[in-house]
Structure 1
Amino acid sequence: MAPGHFLKLLYIEKDMTVKTRFAPSPTGFLHVGGARTALYSWLYARNQGGDFVLRIEDTDLERSTQEAIDAILEGMNWLGLNWEEGPYFQTQRFDRYNQLIDQLLQEGKAYKCYCSKERVDALREQQMANGEKARYDGHCRDLGEAPEADAPFVVRFRNPVEGKVAWDDHVRGRIEIDNRELDDLIIRRTDGAPTYNFCVVIDDWDMGITQVVRGEDHINNTPRQINIYEALGAPVPEFAHVSMILGDDGAKLSKRHGAVSVMQYRDDGFLPQALLNYLVRLGWSHGDQEIFSMEEMIKLFSLKAINKSASAFNTDKLLWLNQHYMKSLPVEEVAEHLAWHFADQKIDTANGPALTDLIPVMAERCQTLKELAQSSRYYYEEFTEFDAAAAKKHLRPVAQAPLERIAEKLSALSEWSAEAIHQSIKDTAEELELGMGKVGMPLRVAVTGAGQSPSLDLTLLLIGQTRSVERINKAVEFVANRANS
């Protein structure tokens, strides 16, 4: 459905299909907490055979940006959290909101408030000085007429003054708020723009949202919104307010704890499957199980199993999960994401092994795709110099004979296989009466430029016969020059 597509009378006729939504504000990137909320909403819709809606809540005209909208969509697509409807944009629905605000005004369920900002600010300051809760005092609630012609005004919702607002939260249980704790909410500003709390109600009603999953910071908004639903005669959705995510030091997750943007995790080399698996466990569990396929998440997820307490982010655990998925996912899936990192590091993979062949060899040694790409450069590019410490230790004059011998054997191989390579190294060691390390370590430095790599037979197999022999001959030349210097 195209962005801003008008909702065709969904507020008049609805079915009972489960429908959830993710409704971020485009004032920044898609952060980890938002991604977890989106995942929970998405999983519940999938578990119930329902639909998932993406809505962009862009009523904050000063702070909303197209860049942030693009970042949200990119993050959702990278995570694979597809939606059946949307993205809808609140700024394209102002006519609908204002129609209903006018209706509430006509019905006496809303009123015009002419109080100046100065009066409201002074009132709040006085209330706080008295140790009272800061709230509007209803000065214009029964004013009737404007104090003067063309006086600027906001529209406030006439909140009930008696009774309680109550709902059974899927995460928090029964919550009750006394209406006397709530003031008359502004639902339209002086510039004619409807406000967030009103727009959310209308959107969820029009879009047929049955379950609202969102952060616990919205709990204070919920009783206000429920009163607006009831004033409009609209069905009230069910709510699930999830706890915040903390850093491993117990403070609210922030940039100082590392990456908080979803796309930063992609840039840092994490697979979306690993991040989703990690996020689902930040507040939800199924026994002691830690690793979940997407199919298992969908099958097992329930709102009732979400934990009330806050969860601490643990990067080490995410790294462990990421390596698990690097090793266990089909190599074709991993290769799709790995290719991005090679391109990002400007490594041309055309002249070297297929990524699907590289992954099984390197994933055991790396925790991220970024690290894997960085560590694999020598498979695709020539290096101009050897690692100084590795060369000093292993490319000594004593290494010249084994390097020359292994070069001869490798160049003579008619079959370039791991078995044949391994046998050549073994034969060289036996013929020269040397330990395998005396042949293997100089060989490793010769072909990779450094002192660490996967097993030599697999490393040389991927580097290729011609390139391997050429590098060994360069190492022989390096050793000879060193001996003569």
Structure 2
Amino acid sequence: MAESPEIVTRIAPSPTGIMHIGTARTALFNWLFARGRGGKFLLRIEDTDRARSTPEATEAILDGMRWLGLDWDGEVVSQFARLERHAEVAHRMLAEGTAYKCFSPQEEIEAFREAARAEGRSTLFLSPWRDVPEAEHPDAPFAIRLKAPRVGETVIEDAVQGTVTFRNDQLDDMVMLRSDGTPTYMLAVVVDDHDMGVTHAIRGDDHLNNAARQAQIYRAMGWAEPVWAHIPLIHGPDGKKLSKRHGATGVMEYARMGFPPAAMRNYLARLGWSHGDDELFDDAQAIAWFDLGGIGRAPARLDMKKLENVSGWHIARMADAELVSAIESFLAISERPPLSQAQKDRLAAAMYCLKDRAKTLPDLLEKAQFALAEGPIVPDEGAAAALDDVSRGILTELTAQLQNASWTRDTLEAVLTAAADSHGLKFGKLAAPLRAALAGRSVSPSVYDMMLVLGRETSLARLTDAASPRG
């Protein structure tokens, strides 16, 4: 029994300045499929459009891939660097009679299409040069067109969309090599995928029509076609194609919003793919579970609330040191000041009482302000309202009582509960000025957690400062 070929998938984005969230999801599907089968995941930059393809635009794609944690195998392939190979295949097809020289100038083709549109006829251009013998060819620039079948059907067996049939009389003889010698996208993709050994073409269903034309090149060359798998696009909450009006469309925008990469991978995996009712999972589970049969045909809808819930689940499960590292990366990406070593140490110590309720990294940072603050605490408006003369007096008493208390949760609970009781207060009434003193916020982790994280010296310094009359 012959061995199955190694699975090879790829992502082939055009460098346009950002990595779109849809491209990221396609990359993830290809990565999961290859990684779950011991195969290869390749990265090709389709940079033949030299006007838009800058080193900065390419770097933006690589940044998005690196941030998402989608590692690729081998070197990044530049499509532009392979122009000679594309041209070589076009000329081979010309020699083998599966392509022909077309001398129709672009102006003639455009004039035909304009007239056809005006008269309500098909704009499909049928080149008059298809069957003209070589001896009758002019000495003039020519494009190389595919000699596509004119009758019958081109059938695509798609792992997601099922059997898709295209009438050949609705497909023109597409240009593969322009008169200036440059290849078209259709030819370049096929040649590159073939040469790179791509076994599965997993991509957006906006490429489904392209598959018919590309399949004709594969068949003309006698090459094995990849498994086609055209996945539904991502739509906005309103059911329309995702665009800037829906908010963030670029991967790095989500990085700057503070979603951890693991959460983005989990969320993107569920956009158009499912494994039973599983919503929350880690990379190992996604790699083990992912298959093409789980991809639906309906467009997926971006749901920020669901993304936040997925993000919160991942943050709660991340190791403390991993979270501190994720926050350092987030601060760098969002061009915010880095943390000092002392702040990182306090943040790590506080993580146990922060991460269970945070939805995003900025959310976690906000909850961690009590541990990150350096110098006197300046309460916000809501917290300052809790620091009246009576509460300041209670804080002064507490400071004295805590000077020599053992710094354990049980002792702190005993001292604070006794203080509340002695003033006839419910603990919530005492907690408000304590939060204002320790965090400068009316919403914070518990006062006991904050005092344990801050330690005796810092806690007492903040209580003393808050108890002092304001000028």
TM-score (norm 2): 0.93
Q: Deviations over 1:260-315 (max 9, x none)?
A: 11111111010111111111111111211111221111111111221011111110
Tell whether 2:158 aligns with 1:169: yes
Residues 327 and 364 in structure 1, CA contact (< 8 A), matched pair in contact too:
yes
Pairing of 1:7-26 with structure 2 (within 5 A):
16-26=5-15
Deviation readout 1:325-357 (Å, 9 max, x if unpaired): 111232333222122234543253423344333
Paired residues of 2:234 and 2:271 also in contact (CA < 8 A): yes
The 3 A distance-change label for structure 1 pair 292 and 130 is farther
> How far apart are 1:464 and its partner, in Å?
3.0
Describe the shift of the 1:358–1:139 C-alpha distance in structure 2 as closer, same or farther (beyond 3 A). Answer: farther
- Kept in 2: contact 1:30–1:71 (CA 8 A): yes
Q: CA distance change for structure 1 residues 145 and 423 in 2, over 3 Å: closer, same or farther?
A: farther
Q: Distance in 2 between matches of 1:252 and 1:342?
A: 31
Give the distance between the partners of 1:153 and 1:409, measured in 2 at CA.
93
Match of 1:407 among 399, 405, 423: 399
Runs of 5+ consecutive residues of structure 2 not aligned to the other structure: none
Indicate conservation of the 8 Å contact 1:422/1:456, yes or no.
Answer: no
Structure 1 residues 339 and 384: alpha-carbon distance in aligned structure 2, compared to 1, 3 A threshold: same
Match for residue 376 of structure 1 among 368, 375, 390: 368
Out of 380, 384, 391, the position equivalent to 2:384 is 391
Distance in 1, matches of 2:402 and 2:117, equals: 83
Question: Could you list the per-position Cα deviations for residues 414-471 of structure 1 after superposition, in whole angstroms to 9, with x for gaps in the alignment?
Answer: x433333333322322344433233221111012112111100111222332222122
Distance 1:25 1:387 in 2: 47
2:52 aligned residue (63, 73, 94): 63
Deviations 1:366-420 (A, max 9, x none): 211022223423322235632223213x11111122101221233323x433333
Distance 1:174 1:288 in 2: 27
Structure-1 residue corresponding to 2:421: 430
- The match for 1:76 is 65
2:32 corresponds to: 43
Alignment partner of 2:465 out of 462, 470, 474:
474
Distance 1:481 1:267 in 2: 38
Pair 1:459–1:347, CA change in 2 (3 A): farther
Aligned counterpart, 1:154: 143
Secondary structure in structure 1 of the residue aligned to 2:173? coil
Matched residue SS, 1:250: coil
Query: What CA distance in whole angstroms lies between the structure 2 residues aligned with 1:163 and 1:446?
Result: 80
Summarize deviations over 1:15-62 as a string: whole Å, max 9, x none: 711111111111231111111111111111122222111111111111
CA contact (8 A) 1:114 1:146 kept: no
1:356 is aligned to 2:341:
no
CA separation of 1:146/1:373 partners in 2, compared to 1, >3 Å: closer, same or farther? farther
Question: Do structure 1's residue 109 and structure 2's residue 101 form an aligned pair?
Answer: no
- Read off the aligned partner of 1:170 and give its amino acid letter: A
Change (3 A) 1:358 1:257: farther
Do the aligned residues in 2 keep the contact of 1:52 with 1:84 (CA within 8 Å)?
yes
- Secondary structure of 2:85's counterpart equals helix
Q: Which 10-residue stretch deviates more, 128-137 or 340-349?
A: 340-349
Partner in structure 2 of residue 262 of structure 1: 251
Distance 2:52 2:362 in 1: 33
**C-alpha offsets along residues 148-190 of structure 1, whole Å, 9 cap, x if unaligned?**
54x3332222212222211210011111112211111111123
Larger deviation, residues 289-298 vs 212-221: 289-298
CA distance in 1, matches of 2:377, 2:418: 30
- Structure 2 partner of 1:28: 17
Is the 1:342–1:349 contact (alpha carbons within 8 Å) kept by the matching residues of 2? no
Distance 1:60 1:155 in 2: 19
Partner residue in 2 for 1:89: 78
- Cα deviation, 1:212-261, whole Å, max 9, x if unaligned, reads 00111111111111111111121111100011111111111112212111
CA contact (8 A) 1:391 1:445 kept: yes
Going from structure 1 to structure 2, the CA distance change for 1:470 and 1:123 (only over 3 Å counts) comes to same
CA contact (8 A) 1:153 1:189 kept: yes
Provide structure 1 residue ranges, at least 5 long, that are not aligned to the other structure.
Answer: 1-13
Amino acid at match of 1:249: D
Q: Which amino acid aligns with 2:368?
A: S
Distance, in Å, in 2 between the alignment partners of 1:390 and 1:354 is 22
Q: Contact (CA 8 Å) 2:316, 2:357: kept in 1 or not?
A: no
User: 1:93 Cα shift?
Assistant: 1.1
Q: Secondary structure at the match of 1:219?
A: helix
Instruction: Tell me how far apart the structure 2 counterparts of residues 28 and 257 of structure 1 sit (CA, whole Å).
Output: 19
Q: Which runs of 4+ in 1 moved over 4 A?
A: 145-148
Distance change (3 Å), C-alpha of 1:418 and 1:74 = farther
Q: Does 1:273 align with 2:266?
A: no
Distance 2:125 2:410 in 1: 81
1:227 aligns with 2:220: no
Given that 2:160 and 2:296 are in contact with CA atoms closer than 8 Å, whether structure 1 keeps it comes out as yes
CA distance in 1, matches of 2:325, 2:414: 34
Query: Percent of aligned pairs with the same residue?
Result: 38
**Does the 8 A contact of 2:377 with 2:439 survive in 1?**
no
- Alpha-carbon distance in structure 2 between the residues aligned to 1:132 and 1:282: 40
Q: Secondary structure at the match of 1:168?
A: strand
Q: Comparing 194-203 with 290-299, which one deviates more in the overlay? A: 290-299
Distance in 1 (CA, whole Å) between partners of 2:87 and 2:190 is 13
User: In the alignment, what sits opposite 1:248?
Assistant: 237
Equivalent residue of 1:165, what SS? Answer: strand
